[in-house]
Amino acid sequence: MTQAVDSYEATRDQVAGWLRDHWDPELTVRQWWAVLADSGWGFPTWPSEWFGRDLEPVLSGAVREAFAQVGALGPPSSLGQLLGGPTLLTHASEALKERFLPPLARGEEFWCQFFSEPGSGSDLASAQTRAVADGDLFIVNGQKVWTSGAQWADRGMLVARTDPDVPKHRGLTYFIIDVDQPGIEVRPIHQMNDAHGFNEVFFTDAEVGADRVVGEVNDGWAVAVTTLAFERFMSAFGASPGKKAGLLDRRAGEVASGAVRGPREGAAYGADLASLVTEVARARGLAGDPVTRQGIVDLYIQQELGRMAGLRSAAAVRAGRRPSGDGSVRKLARSDLMRTAREVGEAVLGPHGTLRTVGEELGGGTIQQVALSSPSSSIAGGTDEIQHNIIGERVLGLPKEPQVDREIPFRELRVGTQRTGS
C-alpha cells in the first residue's frame, strides 16, 4: 500500500510541476488543449503513441488533483474523449485512430452516443435502427432517444442493426457517423427543469461510410460493451470541446475559473443541500418542528454518507485499488439523496415550492431545481435497476436473469416497435 501511495503522490507532483511550467491562462482553449495533447497529460492513460502517457488508470485521480491544485483547465470532455477514444484504442483500425484521435485529443470535436432507442433502452442488443450496405456506404434509418449533447455533437457513436436474420447480439455494427448531414434530425427534449441536454434523433436515409465501422460488421456488440465498460468509470473534469460549444477561442483562464461556461446542464449535485434546507427552515420558522428536523437529519446523513463514500473511493485509488461495484453503490446513493432533498426541501418550502423564483432566504430556486431534476438522477448514466443488477451479479455473485431470446433470430423477436397485439 505504501508503494501505491508513493506512486500516486509522485504522479501528482510530476503533473503539478509540469502544469506550473506550462499553464498559461492567456492562451485560448484551443491553444491550451493542443499543448495538453502534445504533452500526454490530457489523456495520460492512453498509449504514448496516441497522445497519452501509458499511465495506469488508478493514477488518474492523481492527475485530476494536480489540475485542481494548480487551477489549470482540464482536458476536453465529451463522450468522444471519455468513451469514444478508449473504444477506438481497443477496437479501431490504425486508419480510424489516425482520423479521429487527434481531433478528440485536441478538443476539436464533440461526440455523442447513439445507443438507446424508444423500444430498447436497457436492452441495447434489441436496437432496431437499421444500417443497410450500399456500395461504400451504409444507409441508416431509425430513431435514437435520450441522446445527451446531440445538438452540440460533430459525430456520434452509432450502434445499428446490419443483419436481422441472426440473433440480436450478432447482427449489430458500431459506426462513427457525422451528425451534420441532411438525413439526421436532432430534436432537443425540453425537460421540466427547463434543461434540454437530452435529445431524440431521427435517421432518414442518413449515410455513413463503410470505412467508419469500428471493429467488424455484425460484431458491434463487443465494441458497444467496451464503450459501456468505460462509461462506468467515466470522470469528466475538463470543459466541452467542439466548435458548437463555443469555448475553443475563449481564454483558457476564463473557462478554468468558471467565468465562461459551456453547454452543461443539470441540478446542483455538489451543493450542500442539507445546510441549504436548514437555512430555509429557519427562515420559515420551522427549525423547531420535530418532523422537519427529522427530515433534515435524514438528508444530512445521506449527504455525509455520500461524501465519505467519495473519500473512501479516493483513498482506495491512492492505494492502488478499484473497489468492486463502488461506482454503482455511489450512483444509487446519489439517486436516494436527490429524492430525499426533493421531499424534504419541498416540504420545508411549503407553498413557495410551487414558485420558480424565490428570494435567497428561501434558497433562490435551488431546491425547486433539485426537485424537478431528481428523476433524471435515477436514469442518466445507467438506471437504478441497472446499478442493482451490477451489484447483484458482480459484487454479490448472484446469477444473471435468464435470457431466453439469446439464440432466436432478431427478425422473429417481438421487441420495441416489432411488438404486435399491443
Reported as a single tens digit per residue, the pLDDT across 312-342 is 776 765 665 655 567 788 888 889 999 999 9
Which uninterrupted H or E stretch holds 334?
Answer: helix 326-349
* % pLDDT > 90, the chain: 62
DSSP per-residue codes, 231-250? HTT----SB--SGGGT-TTS
How far is the C-alpha of 126 from the C-alpha of 348, rounded, in Å? 44
Element housing 13 (H / E): helix 2-22
Under the phi-then-psi rule, with left for phi > 0, alpha for psi from -120 to 50, and beta for the rest, what region is 299?
Answer: alpha
Contact yes or no for 144/186 (Cβ under 8 A) = no
Query: In this predicted structure, what is the pLDDT of residue 422?
Result: 37
Lowest mean pLDDT among 227-231, 289-293, 320-324: 320-324
Is the CB of residue 63 less than 8 Å from the CB of residue 15? yes
Cβ atoms of 169 and 409 closer than 8 Å: no
Contact yes or no for 344/277 (Cβ under 8 A) = yes
Beta-sheet strands, E only, within 42-103: none
Q: Is the pLDDT of residue 5 over 70?
A: no
Pair 152, 196: CB distance under 8 Å: no
Please give the residue that has the higher pLDDT: either 352 or 2. Answer: 352
Answer yes or no: is pLDDT of 270 > 60.
no
Which amino acid, residue 309? A
Task: Give residue 421's pLDDT.
Answer: 40
Q: Are 377 and 338 contacting, i.e. CB atoms less than 8 angstroms apart?
A: yes
3-state secondary structure 365-376: CHHHHHHHHHHH
For the ranges 145-149, 152-156, 207-211, 417-421, which has the lowest average pLDDT?
A: 417-421
Q: How confident is the model at residue 239, as a pLDDT? A: 86
Residue type, 125: A
Q: Which residues pair with 208 in a beta bridge?
A: 138
Question: How far is Cα 188 from Cα 151, in angstroms, rounded to an integer?
Answer: 7
Query: Count of CB atoms within 10 A of residue 303's CB?
Result: 19
Is the pLDDT at 73 greater than 70, yes or no? yes
Query: Which is more confident, 352 or 6?
Result: 352
Quick check: 405 pLDDT over 50? yes
Exposed/middle/buried for residue 234 (C-beta within 10 Å: 0-12, 13-18, 19+)? middle
* CA-closest candidate to residue 224, choices 150, 154, 171, 148: 171
Cα–Cα distance, 356 to 193 (Å, whole number): 10
- Cα dihedral across residues 289, 291, 292, 296: positive or negative: positive
Q: 381 versus 360: which is more confidently predicted? A: 360
**Rounded to whole angstroms, how far apart are CA atoms 242 and 287?**
48
Burial of 25 (0-12, 13-18, 19+ CB in 10 A): middle
Residue 411 · residue 342 · CB < 8 Å: no
pLDDT, tens digit, 9 for 90 and up, residues 375-396: 888 877 677 888 888 888 878 8
**pLDDT: which is higher, 400 or 176:** 176
Give CATH 2.40.110.10 domain extents, the chain.
108-231
Q: Is the pLDDT of residue 16 over 80?
A: yes
Candidate list 56, 94, 109, 231, residue with the active-site label: 231
Q: Is the pLDDT of residue 268 over 60?
A: no
> Pairing relation of β-strands 130-134 and 137-144?
antiparallel
**DSSP 3-state of 317:** helix
| CA distance to 78, 105, 250, 399, per residue, from 102 (Å) | 14, 5, 21, 42
Looking at residue 192, what is its pLDDT? 86
Residue 417 has pLDDT above 60, yes or no: no
pLDDT digits (tens, 9 = 90+) for 83-110: 999 999 999 999 999 999 999 999 999 9
Q: What is the CATH architecture of 108-231?
A: Beta Barrel (2.40)
360 is catalytic: no
| pLDDT band of 307, cuts 50, 70, 90 | confident
Amino acid, single-letter form, for residue 365? G
Contact 173, 95 (CB under 8 A): no
- Range name among 19-28, 57-66, 378-387 with the lowest pLDDT average: 378-387
CB neighbour burial string for 359-390, b if at least 16 within 10 angstroms, e if fewer: eeebbeebbbbbbbbbbbbbebbbeeebbebb
Split at pLDDT 50, 70, 90, the class of 406 is: confident
* Strand segments (E) across 75-219: 111-114, 130-134, 137-144, 155-161, 172-178, 184-188, 199-209, 213-214
- Using a 10 angstrom Cβ sphere, with 0-12 exposed, 13-18 middle and 19 or more buried, the burial of residue 3 is exposed
DSSP state for residue 143 in the 8-state scheme:
E
CB 52 within 8 Å of CB 45:
yes
Looking only at the bridges linking them, the beta strands covering 172-178 and 111-114 are unpaired
138, pLDDT greater than 70: yes
Q: Mean pLDDT of all residues in the chain?
A: 88
Scan for cell 504514448, then name that residue: 48
pLDDT grade, residue 401 (50/70/90)? Answer: confident
